[in-house]
Amino acid sequence: MSVRPRDPDQVRLLEADEANLWHPFTRQKAYDPGRMIIAGDGCWVTDVDGRRILDAFSGLWSINLGYGRSDIVAAITAQLQVLPASSLFGQGHPLAAELAERLARRAPGNLDRVFFSVQGSQAVDTSLKLARLYWRARGRVGKTILVTRDRGYHGTSFGGISMQGMPALRLPFEPTLPDVRRIAAPFSYRCRHCQDQCNLGCADELEGLVQTEGADRIAALIAEPVLGSGGVIVPHPDYLPRLREICDANEILLIADEIMTGFGRTGRWFAIDHSGVVPDMLLVAKGLTAGYMPLAATIVTDDIFRAVTAQDVPGPEFATGNTWDAHPPACAAALAVLDVLERDDLVGRVAGMAERFAHEVRRVEEVGIVGDVRAIGLVAGIEFVRDRATREPFGPADGVAALFAEHCWRRRVIVRPLANGVVAIAPPFVISEDELAFMGDSLVAAARATRDDLAR
């Protein structure tokens, strides 16, 4: 398509972007300010040059209901006119109470206490604080070790980077929090315990850690039921039940980080629902408001709530919080999102489209540099390899994921390059079959172009 001329205001803003704006998770030396997005509708965004581009990554795993939702915007606007802000420090507001009630009803098992925060990283920090505070409140002051997994991603707060399972996101900021341990990810394609048949050795590493550290030292394990930024890794069906069994046997809290997967991304309301496991804490954000406002929640059992609030202290039993926790317009957005998800059965729609989505993504398997494709619901990971037979990975210097994402951009599709030669795809829940076909065509063409570039 032809590119429209840029007007003077656009030129000025692009210059301001290049001169003044520091982008997160961006290699600034290679950044192109011309990739400014100015509008969005449905599953598409429009860039500064007027090109319409299919957003096959939903912003950042978050625009689950698509762009331009007038129903969500109307709910936010109405709340701004009534009560634009309100602190939960010793008081409340109606939307926070209603949203907490609905989340407690929707969450699995006995998770019925909701602590709001602003973003996923803060929900992670809240869970880590609660894990240590819970055991302290029960007189078990030695239970301080926090367990995470290789390839796990838990945000960019200091607590989150301390729990990172990806060294490139943790090492630059070390020393990080003490008393953190790591076990294997449930990654069958590159498992250090098994090859062709799963033996749950990755889960049993937690039991090994109990034997070396002692159950009286381990407070909690934090885990994404489906690992996102670490490579879109879907565990064996028996994996999470095995983790729950080990946690129960050793009094270890199980924290399910559903910031990426919550509210339907995998075809269930929560990814952990596929396993039937009930965690002790459930962390949600992104899909909670479908990206329209920042909001997160740490949902915990009544047992945790009562243990912490029963402490005999002069001030707040849980001395933490932020100015914007349970921001009223954000709560309005979340309630509107829940209404849409329930009314239109979009979680069921994701489950119904999962097979077609996986088919379109797996079309790239015809290209020899694709080693593995993993998909569940409307989220998938494509892993590129130097040698398909040996599974030899590309090195970081090859930049294969970024190269593939660049070729997708040229073909008007946005995907997300991850570490380790993996690309993630997670389109909005409202994507049509025609749009899926367009996405599949673009992925195949981009994979071929990437292969040809690497062969030069």
At 274-313, the pLDDT tens digits run 999 999 999 999 999 999 999 999 999 999 999 999 999 9
Distance CA 442, CA 444 (A): 5
- Please check whether residue 406 is in contact with residue 361, taking contact to mean a CB–CB distance below 8 angstroms: no
pLDDT computed for residue 420 by the predictor: 85
User: In the structure encoding, which two tokens stand for residue 237, read together?
Assistant: 């069906």
Distance CA 156, CA 152 (A): 12
Above pLDDT 90, what percent of the chain? 91
Contact residues for 172 (Cβ-Cβ < 8 A; gap 6+)? none
Q: What is the DSSP string of 161-190?
A: HHT-S-HHHHGGG-S--SSEEEE----GGG
Q: Which residue has the tokens 């990806």?
A: 166
The CA-atom distances, in angstroms, between 412 and each of 52, 53, 260, 447 are 7, 4, 24, 14
Q: Please report the beta strands in 34-87, taking only residues with DSSP state E, as ranges in sequence order.
A: 37-41, 44-47, 52-55
Beta bridge partners of 364: none
Per-residue pLDDT tens over the stretch 25-80: 888 988 888 889 999 999 999 999 999 999 999 999 999 999 999 999 999 999 99
Q: State residue 452 phi and psi, 5-degree precision.
A: -65, -40
Per-residue pLDDT tens over the stretch 237-253: 999 999 999 999 999 99
Distance CA 267, CA 348 (A): 6
How does residue 2 score in pLDDT terms, banded at 50, 70 and 90?
low
User: In the structure encoding, which two tokens stand for residue 387, read together?
Assistant: 């040698």
Distance CA 152, CA 155 (A): 10
The CA-atom distances, in angstroms, between 377 and each of 159, 285, 417 are 29, 18, 19
Mean pLDDT of the chain: 96
How does 419-451 read in b/e, with b if 16+ C-beta sit within 10 Å?
bbbbbbbbbbbbbeeebbebbbebbbbbbbbbb
pLDDT of 195 above 80: no
Task: Please report which helix (H) or strand (E) contains residue 443, including its range.
Answer: helix 433-455
- Please check whether residue 406 is in contact with residue 454, taking contact to mean a CB–CB distance below 8 angstroms: no
DSSP β-ladder status, 370-376 and 379-387? antiparallel
Nearest to 422 by CA among 383, 364, 386: 383
Segment among 25-39, 297-311, 423-437, 439-453 with least mean pLDDT: 25-39
Contact residues for 69 (Cβ-Cβ < 8 A; gap 6+)? 290, 292, 340
Q: Please report the beta strands in 288-447, taking only residues with DSSP state E, as ranges in sequence order.
A: 296-301, 370-376, 379-387, 392-393, 413-414, 416-417, 422-425
How does residue 151 score in pLDDT terms, banded at 50, 70 and 90?
very high
Segment among 18-22, 111-115, 359-363 with least mean pLDDT: 18-22
Please give the model's pTM, rounded to 2 decimal places: 0.96
pLDDT computed for residue 111 by the predictor: 98
Segment among 156-170, 294-308, 421-435 with least mean pLDDT: 156-170
Q: Region 428-435: what's the mean pLDDT? A: 98
DSSP β-ladder status, 416-417 and 422-425? antiparallel
Q: Which residue has the tokens 């990080």?
A: 176
Beta bridge partners of 429: none
Contact residues for 286 (Cβ-Cβ < 8 A; gap 6+)? 60, 61, 62, 64, 120, 259, 260, 262
pLDDT of 204 above 70: yes
How does residue 194 score in pLDDT terms, banded at 50, 70 and 90?
confident
Per-residue pLDDT tens over the stretch 378-420: 999 999 999 999 999 999 889 999 999 999 999 999 999 998 8
Q: How many helical (H) and strand (E) elements, i.e. helices and strands, does the chain have?
A: 14, 16
Is the bond into 84 cis (omega within 30 degrees of 0)?
Answer: no
pLDDT computed for residue 405 by the predictor: 97
Distance CA 56, CA 51 (A): 15
User: In the structure encoding, which two tokens stand for residue 326, read together?
Assistant: 């349970």
pLDDT of 1 above 60: no
